[in-house]
Every structure is written in C-alpha cells, then in structure tokens.
C-alpha cells in the first residue's frame, strides 16, 4: 500500500534508510509508485517480448539504490539516480540478450524522436541510446544529465532546473539541443 508522504518526509526517509527495515519499508511505500511509473515508461520503449518485467526492474533498482552509499539531496535526486540505475539495468540486460542472439541480423530502430515521448510506446535501441548518451556526456555532461533526468527520470523541467541550478528555459533549450545531437549521433552522423 502506497504511503502518502510529503517531499520533506521522503527526503528524511532517504537519509535514514541505510538498512533499517522499518524505514526501508516506509520509503518503498512512498516511492514505489513513482519507481513503477518510471519502469513502465522504460519498458514501453523496449522491444516486444522483453524478458525483464517492470516489477523486476523496480525491485532490482530499489535494492541497488538503498544498498548504495549515496548522500541523498532529496526526492528529485533520488528519482534522477533511480532512472540512471534502471537504464543501466536495461543496458546490461540488452547486452546479455544481444550476446545470446549475436548474428541474428535484426536491425533495431534507432530513432531518437521516439525518446522524446517517454510514454509513446515505441521501441528504441537501448544500447545505441546508451552509447549516444555516453558520448554526449563526454562532450557536455550537464546536457546529458538534463536529458536523463527529464526523459528517463520523468522529472519536470522545474525539478531538473532545481537540481541543475539553472532556469526551466535553460532545461528546455538543453533538451532540444541534446535531442538534435543524439539523433544525429544515433544515425551515424557527426
């Protein structure tokens, strides 16, 4: 059952969670719904017949998050990191799947326009997008973080702006530039 807590309460639970069963249970009750929403958005972009289920993605990500040694800055920081962890889990899973099917000759769709709508229900080549985001991170780390927080973390422009200490207009401008750059990169254009 989801527990309705204020943002301040969630931040307090995040800071106290370190292996305390009661705190971890309350924390999962407070953040589980949002984690499931993020996982569902990721899974809608995955190929049909994906073997990883959203619940497994949420559970694996949550375990990595609470077992880690992160000084949580707040709710938005937690969900931003959660999105990154989920993306990494999916990338690892895709690599294993690709290794198992190496040579099948199937070409994945690499259109970034499908990333622009996290709820769009379109397939995106997770590995190609991951590689493109890593390349963008080397070129412009802030822009890569903004894209990850906005589209994969599901944070609003205002939440991303607060985390990155920029204006919402800057977030919007950085996302547009990143989408253009990532789209070209994923198509093999430089």
How far apart are alpha carbons 168 and 160 in whole angstroms? 8
Q: At what angle do helices 157-164 and 75-100 cross, to 10 degrees?
A: 100
DSSP one-letter code for 122: -
Helices assigned H by DSSP within 68-167:
75-100, 126-139, 141-147, 157-164
The length of the chain, given as a count of residues = 190
C-alpha torsion sign, points 63, 91, 34, 40: negative
For the chain, domain boundaries = 7-186
What are the pLDDT tens digits along the chain (190 aa)?
445 666 667 777 877 776 666 777 888 888 888 888 888 877 777 766 667 788 888 989 988 888 777 778 877 788 888 888 888 888 888 788 777 665 444 444 444 444 443 334 444 577 777 888 889 999 999 999 898 888 777 778 988 888 888 999 999 999 999 999 988 888 886 5
């Amino acid at each position: 059952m989801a527990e309705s807590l204020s943002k301040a309460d969630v931040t307090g639970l995040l800071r106290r969670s370190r292996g305390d069963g009661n705190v971890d249970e309350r924390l999962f009750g407070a953040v589980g719904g949002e984690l499931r929403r993020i996982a569902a958005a990721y899974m809608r972009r995955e190929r049909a017949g994906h073997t990883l289920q959203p619940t497994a993605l949420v559970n694996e990500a949550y375990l990595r998050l609470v077992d880690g040694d992160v000084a949580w800055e707040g709710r938005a920081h937690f969900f931003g990191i959660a999105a990154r962890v989920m993306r990494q889990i999916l990338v690892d899973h895709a690599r294993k799947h690709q290794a198992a099917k190496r040579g099948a000759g199937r070409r994945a769709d690499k259109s970034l326009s499908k990333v622009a709508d996290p709820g769009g229900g379109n397939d995106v080549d997770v590995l190609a997008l991951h590689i493109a985001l890593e390349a963008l991170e080397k070129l412009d780390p802030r822009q890569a973080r903004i894209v990850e927080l906005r589209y994969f973390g599901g944070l609003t422009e205002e939440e991303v702006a607060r985390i990155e200490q920029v204006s919402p207009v800057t977030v919007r401008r950085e996302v547009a530039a990143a989408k253009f750059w990532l789209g070209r990169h994923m198509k093999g254009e430089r």
